[in-house]
Structure 1
Amino acid sequence: MATIHRFEDLEIWQLAFHQTKDFDLLVETTPLAKDYELRNQMNASSGSVMDCIAEGFERSGNSEFKNMLVIAKGSNGEFRSQLYRCLNRKHIIQENFNELYLKNDMLGRKIMTFIQYLQKTEYKGQRYKKEESSNQPQTSNLKPQTK
């Protein structure tokens, strides 16, 4: 896997960002705009997905990143559940639901795949890089001082 230097380069963050854009379009074009409670919940859960991915990445340690990805995956599931409420309240039609559901499901699967990758890798994260190198035995060939 290539080294990623910015969270914006992660495919899962990009997909989460597009999910929030799709949600914003939904608010602009459907009766969801007037269902303030559901709209605000969906805004929070969709935003949480991308924000947790970004926060986990920026913590620079795989353990913290994995924990934040688990939270992101949970928020993604929360958003998917809220899509059902949108459909049930007739804020969206079945076709819109199906499209958003498939994108959301794919994002959830990709987050899980990335979590599994991080569990298998031995790299602990940028935050531990100095620590790992400083744990190496130090040797020197100092000559004894003589008078």
Structure 2
Amino acid sequence: MPAIETTTAGGAALIKIFGVPVLAGAAATALVFLFMWPRTLREAFLRLTSTIAASGIFGPFAVMALHSWWPSLFDSSKAVAMLYGADPALGVLFIAGPVMVLTGLPAWWLIGGLLLWLERRRGKDIGEIAHDAVEVVKDVRGAL
């Protein structure tokens, strides 16, 4: 039977690995609920899950990129955690949490925009929707 310290450390590691992306995605969702409220429960579910997924998928990459670009920020966050008597690894979460929240925000807006775009084309067949998509791409390219 493993020691209590091992199981507690393992549980804490699992919370850090899986809990931070989920909490960051939920925080991102809560922030954007203030600005762009979903119209239906289905839309809310789609946007919530996409925000959490984007935060969990892209957040760690953003944290790694930030760490390679600005490593002293993470050293400082570890020092701050130690000042408060916490585990230095907790200091990384001071930086990783907000970064992961920020990586989840675009998914909320993109899914909301896509759902609105599709809702405006309700009743059209797939060919008409594809034609509309091509027109939008042409408009965007022309604007650039």
When Rg is computed on C-alpha atoms for both structures, the one with the higher figure is 1
TM-score, length of structure 2 as denominator length:
0.32
TM-score, length of structure 1 as denominator length:
0.31
Q: Return the structure number with greater helix share.
A: 2
